[in-house]
């Protein structure tokens, strides 16, 4: 009996590696969602599937419907994350070159995700879309410095780095609606809502510094969120915010106070931005069309950490806490950030 089980296991793994080899021998054809499902169903080990996704060209679909289909087919969290990362890499991995004034305009992107490109000194590159993490604390949002020194916030940000949304989303019959994107873990208050009616919600970005280092102190940005699903583009406008590094673990974006259960409610009754604490940078946002802007700082930026964010035009705009927690619809817009760093020797 044991020998039969062993033989079956060896055959399953062998078939997985044969499948992997067949894909490896087709370098010209990008991997697709169906290819990944086929590898998973053939019994290929997760580590092999992830390695194959990372090492070969991919043409993956990461819409909400496709993520649900992949999840139901048995694709694991690590495999899904590898596919999402590969999709982001494919859209942002082209080398930055100075624009050719005589070249024909490039075709419009088919992606429905918000996009930001930056021009710093003649070189244009697309910044990767990141998702802020959401933490709770009892510290009142009196200043960015006080939040940055709050160990509860930094521990929550650090703990949430590798926690994806799938468990929470599946309990709420939903999934994450973004490419770039990981959800902060559940956080850290033992006080019941009826005893502590308000907490401070803190938005932050994992890591002490952005990997997007700019050598020019006056960058210009092209922002396009005109095709984002479930969003009215005219409800939002781009802005630049200065980020506050916190204990070498994360960068604080902003914060607000709200009811302890605000992010679990599906109703659009959370007025996030009416009293939102953030360090806005004076900037000029030139609207070119609905959901399309040119954005530039009003003056040279000092060395440090910054982010391009999307903010509601009206401070009275209401959000669904569920959408914010799962980064979908209006919640995706508010959670989205494109970080960059102005170097010490920036010109």
For residue 310, pLDDT over 90 is answered with yes
CB 195 within 8 A of CB 259: no
What is the rounded distance in angstroms from the CA atom of residue 93 to the CA atom of residue 206? 21
For residue 150, pLDDT over 50 is answered with yes
The mean-pLDDT minimum among 20-34, 112-126, 261-275, 313-327 falls in 20-34
Gyration radius (Cα) of the chain, Å: 22
Burial class (CB in 10 A: 0-12, 13-18, 19+), 255: buried
Residue 52, pLDDT score: 85
pLDDT tens digit string along 289-309?
A: 999 999 999 999 999 999 999
Determine which helix (DSSP H) or strand (DSSP E) holds 53, and give its type and residue range. Answer: helix 46-55
Structure-model confidence comparison of residues 312 and 110, the more confident one: 312
CB 236 within 8 A of CB 333: yes
pLDDT tens digit string along 190-203?
A: 333 344 468 999 99
Mean predicted confidence (pLDDT) in 29-45: 88
For residue 51, pLDDT over 90 is answered with no
CB 199 within 8 A of CB 137: yes
Degrees (nearest 5) of the Cα angle 83, 87, 92?
145
Label the pairing between strands 213-214 and 336-342: parallel
Structure-model confidence comparison of residues 28 and 164, the more confident one: 28
Mean predicted confidence (pLDDT) in 111-138: 89
DSSP letter assigned to residue 41: H
Burial class (CB in 10 A: 0-12, 13-18, 19+), 192: exposed
What is the rounded distance in angstroms from the CA atom of residue 345 to the CA atom of residue 335? 30
Cβ neighbours, 10 Å, residue 105: 5
Structure-model confidence comparison of residues 27 and 142, the more confident one: 142
Mean predicted confidence (pLDDT) in 254-281: 93
Q: Given CA atoms 252, 253, 254, 260 in this order, what sign does their dihedral have?
A: negative
For residue 108, pLDDT over 70 is answered with no
For residue 247, pLDDT over 60 is answered with yes
Residue 293, pLDDT score: 97
């Amino acid at each position: 009996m044991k020998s039969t089980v062993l033989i079956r296991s060896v055959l399953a793994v062998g078939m997985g590696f044969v499948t992997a080899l067949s894909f490896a021998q087709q370098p010209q054809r990008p991997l697709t969602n169906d290819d990944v499902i086929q590898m998973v169903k053939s019994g290929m080990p997760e580590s092999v599937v992830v390695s194959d996704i990372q090492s070969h060209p991919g043409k993956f679909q990461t819409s909400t419907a496709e993520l649900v289909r992949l999840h139901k087919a048995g694709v694991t969290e690590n495999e899904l994350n590898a596919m999402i990362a590969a999709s982001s890499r494919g859209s942002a991995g082209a080398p930055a070159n100075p624009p050719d004034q005589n070249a024909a305009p490039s075709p419009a992107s088919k992606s429905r995700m918000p996009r930001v490109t930056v021009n710093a000194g003649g070189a244009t590159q697309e910044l990767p879309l990141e998702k802020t993490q959401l933490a709770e604390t009892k510290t009142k949002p009196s200043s960015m410095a006080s939040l940055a020194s709050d160990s509860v916030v930094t521990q929550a940000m650090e703990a949430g780095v590798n926690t994806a949304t799938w468990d929470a989303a599946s309990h709420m019959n939903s999934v994450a609606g973004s490419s770039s994107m990981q959800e902060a873990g559940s956080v850290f208050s033992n006080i019941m809502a009826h005893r502590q009616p308000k907490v401070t919600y803190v938005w932050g970005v994992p890591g002490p510094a952005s990997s997007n280092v700019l050598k020019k102190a006056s960058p210009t940005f092209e922002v396009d969120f005109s095709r984002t699903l479930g969003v009215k583009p005219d409800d939002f406008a781009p802005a630049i915010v200065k980020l506050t590094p916190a204990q070498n673990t994360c960068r604080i974006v902003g914060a607000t106070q709200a009811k302890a259960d605000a992010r679990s409610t599906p109703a659009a009754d959370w007025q996030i931005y009416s009293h939102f604490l953030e360090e806005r940078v004076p900037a000029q946002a030139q609207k070119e069309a609905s959901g399309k802007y040119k954005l530039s700082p009003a003056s040279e930026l000092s060395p440090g950490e910054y982010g391009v964010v999307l903010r509601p035009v009206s401070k009275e705009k209401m959000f669904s806490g569920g959408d914010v927690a799962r980064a979908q619809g209006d919640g995706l817009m508010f959670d989205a950030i494109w970080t960059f760093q102005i170097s010490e020797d920036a010109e």
